[in-house]
Amino acid sequence: MFTEVLVGLVIAGLIFFLVQRSKTQVLKTEDGWWGPGVPPEDGEDFTIRPYKVTTGDEELEDLYRRIDQTRPIPSLEDSQFNYGFNSQYLQKVVSYWRNDFDWRRQVDKLNQYPHFKTNIEGFDSVCAARVFHKLMKRLGFQQFYAHGGDWGWLITTNMSQLEPKIVKGLHVNFAPPSKPGLPMILSIMLGRRFPKLFGFTDMDIERLYPCMEKLVVESIKESGYMHIQATKPDTVGRGLNDSPVGLAAYILEKFSTWTDHDFRSLDDGGLTRKFSLDDLLTNVMIYWTSGCIISSMRFYKENFSKGLNQPHEKIPVHVPTGFACFPNELMHTPKLWVKQKYRKLKTFTPMASGGHFAAMEEPQLMARDIQSFTKTLEKKKKK
């Protein structure tokens, strides 16, 4: 009798474990307030207001005065972009910015698109995910597809974890593994010798090995900014908010090395091989005129200060997912690693070219892959 009861308990326990494991885990979150002081007593303002990007003589005169008063310093000989933004080439960029770049024209181009404002609380990635869900509901969408790269990868991932039934599909082009699980560790150790065992392609082998150089040394070379912004963003942020030339050097250096790490060996950083100076400086001007560089850097502090063991890192994504694998992305993520987090990976596309800023560098390739992914899911739903 005792044996039968024991066996029954074991079977019941096993069934309970399997049922619990099969349930989709959902990320939990609560509303917050990130504005100055306490939340308004009359509640949140839900209005959506149109606006236009504006500029004026005073704003431009202040910019030119600061540019004119910059103090250039020569770069080391033959240093190219290996020490950061090359100072000699920076002077050429600054000269173009000061004498040829037409900010008013770029403002007119920006205003060809409708712009809107609305007030929603939010700060770290989970809060930002909650904010975007609120925004989509406020705009009248009950279901939608989401795409993200860079921080957008994590925000849209969190959106899928918060409300998986609302996000119809998730498309990302950046997916660094949050935790090195056993499959990832084994694939790193044995993948070079037994690539087929882990589904590794020639590109996987090229981007991952030798591991110390590709996964450790290269990451250290390109992550110094992250350590500063994740710990003391206001210190460097104050300097960047005060100097347009410093801000340009800080931002545009990433468009060089994150597009192709070989660009570090070029005197001009390869900046205009994939981008125009007008587009790059428009990006800088959006930060400069809005004065938002410090708040953008604080996003790192808000996320990393909570530790590296947050609930969302442990929860898999069960929303249908598509991944665009660009060959020059900062961190290469093989299909095996993507599937550890995104359990319903529907498409994995090795892209022909492109780096970290893929949507800006290769907009047509990105758009086609997003469209292909959504069409794949819609066709399956119709069957």
Give me the tens of pLDDT residue by residue for the chain, a chain 383 residues long: 545 444 444 444 444 444 444 456 888 877 777 677 777 777 777 889 999 999 999 999 999 999 999 999 999 999 999 999 999 999 999 999 999 999 999 999 999 999 998 888 778 899 999 999 999 999 999 999 999 999 999 999 999 999 999 999 999 999 998 778 888 999 999 999 999 999 999 999 999 999 999 999 999 999 999 999 999 999 999 999 999 999 999 999 999 999 999 999 999 999 999 999 999 999 999 999 999 999 999 999 999 988 878 888 889 999 999 999 999 999 999 999 999 999 999 999 999 999 999 999 999 999 999 999 999 999 877 76
The sign of the CA dihedral 61, 62, 68, 74 is negative
Report the DSSP pairing between strands 144-148 and 115-117: unpaired
Per-residue model confidence (pLDDT) at position 315: 92
Domains defined along the chain, listed by start:
49-382 (3.40.50.1820)
CB atoms within 10 A of CB 287: 19
The secondary structure of the chain in percent helix, strand, coil, rounded to multiples of 5, reads 55, 10, 35
Residues with Cβ within 8 Å of residue 263, at least 6 apart in sequence: 81, 256, 257, 269, 270, 271, 273
- Structural element, H or E, at residue 345: strand 345-350
Contact assessment for residue 46 and residue 118, using Cβ atoms and an 8 Å cutoff: yes
Per-residue model confidence (pLDDT) at position 77: 92
Quote the pTM value. Answer: 0.88
Look up tokens 């070029």; give the residue: 266
Residues acting as catalytic residues: 150, 300, 356
Rg (CA), the chain: 24
Spacing of C-alpha 135 from chain mean position: 19
- Residue among 110, 108, 90, 87 at smallest CA distance from 98: 90
Contact assessment for residue 315 and residue 340, using Cβ atoms and an 8 Å cutoff: no
Per-residue model confidence (pLDDT) at position 69: 95
Phi, psi for residue 280 in degrees, rounded to 5? -65, -45
- Return d(Cα 34, Cα 38) in angstroms, integer: 9
State both tokens at 372. 């292909």
The sign of the CA dihedral 350, 354, 359, 364 is negative
Phi, psi for residue 325 in degrees, rounded to 5? -100, 95
State both tokens at 92. 């050429």
Per-residue model confidence (pLDDT) at position 10: 42
Report the DSSP pairing between strands 321-325 and 167-172: parallel
Per-residue model confidence (pLDDT) at position 288: 97
Per-residue model confidence (pLDDT) at position 19: 42
Q: Name the burial class of residue 277, with classes exposed (0-12), middle (13-18) and buried (19+) by CB atoms within 10 angstroms of its CB.
A: middle
Three-class secondary structure of residue 363 per DSSP: helix
Contact assessment for residue 52 and residue 127, using Cβ atoms and an 8 Å cutoff: no
- Residue among 348, 350, 329, 351 at smallest CA distance from 340: 348
Per-residue model confidence (pLDDT) at position 43: 73
